[in-house]
Amino acid sequence: MTAPAPMPGHVAIVDGVLAETVSVWDAGFTLGDGIFETIAVRDGRLIAADAHFDRLERAAAALGFQRPGKDVWLRDFETLCAAAPSAARGEVVLRLQITSGPYGQSSTRVLMLRPVGARELTRRGGLHLHVIRNSRGIEGGLGTFKTTSWIVSAVARRTHPAGADPAFEGLFVSESGEVLEGTSTAIVARFSSTLVLPPLDGRILESTVRARLIRVAESAGLRVEVKPLSLARLSAADDVLALNALLPVAQCHTLDGASLRQSDLAAGLCVLLAGD
């Protein structure tokens, strides 16, 4: 079988070597045994890089993966840019991934670079939330870490009637009706001049944008509260926002088809984050 031609602007480094293949026996493929980070890059500048490197390092230490370290990743990035200088121009997406290697007995380090896609650009115009219930089996687990076992989120989108819409975002909700996070985003609600964020209690990812948002929001005079947020209260918020590295802040327009209140806060926060 002939390998597919590389997509324009898509380049990768595997264990320090320019390549686009990984062993089929790699546990990242056979078991989803890996961790990753996604970093926005603009004209060669990595956005909030230290926060992403730190989170990857914490995940690697906690889950027993080898830890290449920031200097190794940056060297890989420099090698990639030197080999394909046009790939890093403009706005692109950098993905760092570590797996436990072939048969789960070693380690594989992969760095991938690609252009921002049409779907991602569409999502910046706003998202439509759809509640996903009883999909995690248990409440808790490895929610703190960004693992390559992303099947729960992928299946939530693939099997939902609205999942083909680029603006679709599944909303994970506990059995008691507590808002957790989106399938690829952190969720924030605004009530008057206060932003409410779900607690980092082990069930949700510690979003790198969330930490930056808290900083810029407080500097802009908004209060920030970290406390449980019910689905009913979310639906009554003055704004519902979704966060991730590529948005970085998007307005949520609807919740299960019902319109949500909204303002120009998302755009304003994007401007503040750009200067952070």
> pLDDT tens digits, residue range 201-260?
988 999 999 999 999 999 999 999 999 999 999 999 999 999 999 999 999 999 999 999
Q: What is the DSSP string of 206-269?
A: --HHHHHHHHHHHHTT-EEEE---BHHHHHT-SEEEEE-TTS-EEEEEEETTEE----SHHHHH
Tell me what the mean pLDDT of segment 73-92 comes to.
92
Domain with CATH 3.20.10.10 in the chain: 121-274
pLDDT of residue 4: 60
pTM of the full structure: 0.92
Q: Is the pLDDT of residue 50 over 90?
A: yes
**Percent of the chain's residues with pLDDT above 70:** 95
pLDDT of residue 3: 57
Q: What is the pLDDT of residues 174-193, one digit of tens each?
A: 888 999 999 999 999 999 99
pLDDT of residue 265: 95
Domain with CATH 3.30.470.10 in the chain: 11-116
Contact 120/90 with Cβ under 8 angstroms? Answer: no
pLDDT category of residue 140 using cuts at 50, 70 and 90: very low
pLDDT category of residue 138 using cuts at 50, 70 and 90: very low
pLDDT of residue 88: 85
pLDDT of residue 6: 66
Which strand (E) or helix (H) includes residue 27?
helix 27-30
CATH entry, 121-274, from 3.30.365.10, 1.10.287.130, 3.10.20.30, 3.20.10.10: 3.20.10.10
pLDDT of residue 133: 77
pLDDT of residue 77: 96
Pairing mode, strands 239-243 and 223-226: unpaired
Contact 123/249 with Cβ under 8 angstroms? Answer: no
- 11-116 in CATH: which number? 3.30.470.10
pLDDT of residue 152: 86
The candidate with the shortest Cα–Cα distance to 90, out of 114, 56, 59, is: 114
